[in-house]
């Protein structure tokens, strides 16, 4: 176990031994009658406190559906979802609101604009979830500033609206907003795919740094290369079914399912990591120039 994950394991509350997310036999169907479409079938996945799990799959494989079902935004037709040991499968709207307000689980939408209210300044976006929890304005502002710093953004952006930010800045604000309440679990749906490669590397590095706070991350992506260096484990979704779950190096070096093999073979630099690293170094040099 690395120092980082030891810290992560001790950073949480009591009762940490159990998974922070435990999805079991999840089925989700969309539509009715002949147009009924099974988007997820028998998906089981658990995430330990402080762990980062990458969920990989091609477009339409059910990644966003999994995120939405975990957060109670689409109903499941079978299976269960436990968040921090609490069975949320049968939760109504009020119970979900309470859970969200407690800030146990947060969601960063696939579209960064959806994660942020266009009429709220960066400051208001970051302080609002804290004020809802009863944190004083002074404390909320201080925490918001420190999180802006953690995502490597300047305090000068505090007064800006989302429309006045670049895509990369907006995504970092969305990440900061999701983390500001210090949740146990954050689900990020394609957090880097809308970004150029320099910003992609930056945001992934920020996510890696944020793991030290003890938060568990579910990192959804269609791109294995994007999450391979960040996730402890990788789960591969294919046509609504989870076809492979394992430690990142195992999945990359010994992919078992044909679809995973295809993913790995289409990203040849993954095997050694050498080209990947030199590319990152080149980008970092470019950024620091």
Ligand X SMILES: Nc1ncnc2c1ncn2[C@@H]1O[C@H](COP(=O)(O)OP(=O)(O)OP(=O)(O)O)[C@@H](O)[C@H]1O
Residue 270 and residue 225 in contact, taking contact as beta carbons nearer than 8 Å: yes
Residue 269 and residue 263 in contact, taking contact as beta carbons nearer than 8 Å: no
For ligand X, give the closer residue by CB, 62 or 255. 62
Site for ligand X contains 97 (CB under 6 A):
no
For Mg ion, give the closer residue by CB, 110 or 121. 110
Minimum CB distance to ligand X, residue 97 (Å): 22
Say which entry of Mg ion, ligand X, none residue 119 contacts (CB below 5 to 8 A, set by partner kind).
none
Say which entry of Mg ion, ligand X, none residue 61 contacts (CB below 5 to 8 A, set by partner kind).
ligand X
Token digits for 20?
């922070």
Token digits for 138?
């002074």
CB-based contacts of 75, cutoff 8 Å, min separation 6:
28, 69
Minimum CB distance to Mg ion, residue 193 (Å): 9
**Contacting ligand X (CB under 6 A), which of 49, 57, 79, 183?**
57
Residue 95 and residue 144 in contact, taking contact as beta carbons nearer than 8 Å: no
Site for ligand X contains 75 (CB under 6 A):
no
Minimum CB distance to Mg ion, residue 59 (Å): 7
Minimum CB distance to ligand X, residue 112 (Å): 14
**Phi, psi angle pair for 20, to nearest 5°:** -80, -25
For ligand X, give the closer residue by CB, 69 or 185. 69
For ligand X, give the closer residue by CB, 12 or 225. 225
Site for ligand X contains 65 (CB under 6 A):
yes
Site for ligand X contains 64 (CB under 6 A):
yes
Long-range (24+ apart) CB contacts under 8 A made by 197-203 are 197/283, 198/283, 198/286, 198/287, 199/167, 199/168, 199/171, 200/226, 201/280, 201/283, 201/284, 202/152, 202/168, 202/172, 202/287, 203/168, 203/171, 203/172, 203/175
Q: How far is CA 9 from CA 48, 98, 178, 210, 228, in A?
A: 9, 25, 20, 14, 21
Minimum CB distance to ligand X, residue 245 (Å): 16
Using CB under 6 A as the binding rule, the residues of this chain from 103 to 132 that contact ligand X are 110
Q: How far is CA 175 from CA 144, 148, 150, 243, in A?
A: 12, 9, 10, 29
Site for ligand X contains 37 (CB under 6 A):
yes
**Contacting ligand X (CB under 6 A), which of 6, 10, 25, 31?**
31
Say which entry of Mg ion, ligand X, none residue 155 contacts (CB below 5 to 8 A, set by partner kind).
none
**Contacting ligand X (CB under 6 A), which of 5, 52, 61, 171?**
61
The residue ranges that bind Mg ion (CB under 5 A) are 63-64
For Mg ion, give the closer residue by CB, 68 or 233. 68
**Contacting ligand X (CB under 6 A), which of 18, 42, 60, 163?**
60
Collapse the DSSP code of 72 into the 3-class scheme (helix H, G, I; strand E, B; otherwise coil) and give the result. Answer: coil
Token digits for 255?
């992919």
Q: Which residues bind ligand X (CB under 6 A)?
A: 30-31, 37, 39, 57, 59-65, 110, 222
């Amino acid at each position: 176990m690395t120092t980082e994950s030891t810290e992560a394991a001790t950073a949480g509350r009591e009762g940490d031994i159990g998974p922070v997310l435990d999805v079991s036999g999840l089925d989700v169907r969309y539509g009715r009658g002949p147009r009924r479409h099974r988007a997820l079938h028998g998906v089981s996945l658990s995430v330990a406190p402080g762990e980062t799990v990458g969920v990989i799959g091609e477009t339409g494989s059910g990644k966003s559906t999994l995120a939405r079902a975990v957060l109670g935004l689409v109903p499941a037709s079978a299976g269960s979802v436990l968040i921090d040991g609490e069975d949320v499968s049968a939760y109504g709207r009020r119970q979900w609101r309470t859970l969200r307000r407690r800030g146990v689980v947060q969601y960063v939408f696939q579209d960064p604009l959806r994660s942020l209210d266009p009429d709220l300044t960066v400051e208001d976006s970051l302080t609002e979830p804290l004020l809802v929890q009863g944190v004083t304005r002074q404390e909320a502002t201080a925490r918001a500033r420190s999180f802006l710093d953690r995502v490597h953004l300047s305090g000068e952006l505090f007064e800006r609206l989302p429309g006045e930010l670049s895509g990369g800045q907006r995504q970092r604000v969305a990440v900061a907003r999701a983390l500001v309440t210090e949740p146990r679990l954050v689900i990020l749906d394609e957090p880097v795919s809308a970004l150029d490669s320099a910003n992609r590397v930056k945001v992934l590095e920020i996510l890696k740094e944020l793991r030290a706070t003890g938060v568990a991350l579910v990192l959804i992506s269609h791109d294995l290369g994007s999450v391979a260096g960040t996730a402890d484990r990788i789960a591969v979704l294919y046509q609504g079914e989870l076809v492979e779950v394992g430690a990142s190096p195992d999945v990359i070096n010994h992919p078992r399912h044909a679809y995973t093999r295809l993913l790995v073979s289409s990203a040849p630099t993954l095997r050694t990591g050498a080209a990947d690293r030199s590319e990152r170094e080149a980008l970092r040099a470019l950024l620091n120039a």
